[in-house]
Amino acid sequence: MSQELISNQNEPEKVLLVVIELKNEETLWTLPEEIAEMTELVAASGGKVVESVQCRLSKISAGNYIGDGKLQEIAGLVALHHIDTVIFNHDLKGSQQRNLEEVIKTKTIDRTQLILDIFARRATTNEGKMQVELAQLEYLLPRLTGKGIELSRLGGGIGTLGPGETKLEVDRRRISDRIEKIKNTL
């Protein structure tokens, strides 16, 4: 029984790639080349691509980045293949990422976050680790979003700016403080 637990822990994350081609955007890559590169990046991060979805868009949807039909297709594939992570080949806004995760019901990241994760896994020196952490925090800061209970106001207390500060504001302030500390150290 303990062997099963150990072997399950070593299984790579199951990944669904969403490779988008924007019709009005010139690119040097074909869709198959883009899928091949993203697959290599996923492997470098310790994941395994189980499925990929290709999509040609004439315009980006402000709410979900992709249309509702494609979003439902992705949600179905996530459920069918028990996908751990969905990775988009284009940068997502924080609100788009949150909206996608609400429908897809699994972690959703973009290419930039994937690359930062690879750097984080491979950083060995303290300086390298701090530089990667700085890049990750600077990437995360504008993407912090909250909804419902997450935005509820906190009472005053140690570590908050007083009554009425939201959890989102506290998170932003703490990340900004950490960014400043790392910059001073480097």
Per-residue pLDDT of the chain (186 residues; tens, 9 = 90+): 444 444 455 789 999 999 998 887 777 778 889 999 999 999 999 999 999 999 888 888 889 999 999 999 999 999 999 999 999 999 999 889 999 999 999 999 999 999 999 999 999 999 999 898 888 888 888 877 655 444 444 444 444 454 555 777 777 888 888 888 888 887
Cα separation, 61 vs 161, in Å, equals: 36
Which CATH code fits 2-117? 3.40.50.11060
Which tokens belong to 27?
């690119």
Q: What is the pTM of this model?
A: 0.77
The pLDDT score that the predictor gives to residue 141 is 82
The pLDDT score that the predictor gives to residue 163 is 52
The pLDDT score that the predictor gives to residue 7 is 44
The pLDDT score that the predictor gives to residue 160 is 45
The pLDDT score that the predictor gives to residue 2 is 43
Cα separation, 143 vs 91, in Å, equals: 11
Residue 8 burial class via C-beta count within 10 angstroms: exposed 0-12, middle 13-18, buried 19 and up: exposed
Q: How far is CA 51 from CA 42, 46, 64, in A?
A: 12, 16, 20
Which tokens belong to 136?
């990750």
The pLDDT score that the predictor gives to residue 1 is 43
Q: Which residues share a beta bridge with 110? A: 88
Residue 186 DSSP code: -
Instruction: Write down the domain spans for the chain.
Output: 2-117, 126-185
Closest CA to 46 of 128, 109, 101, 114: 114
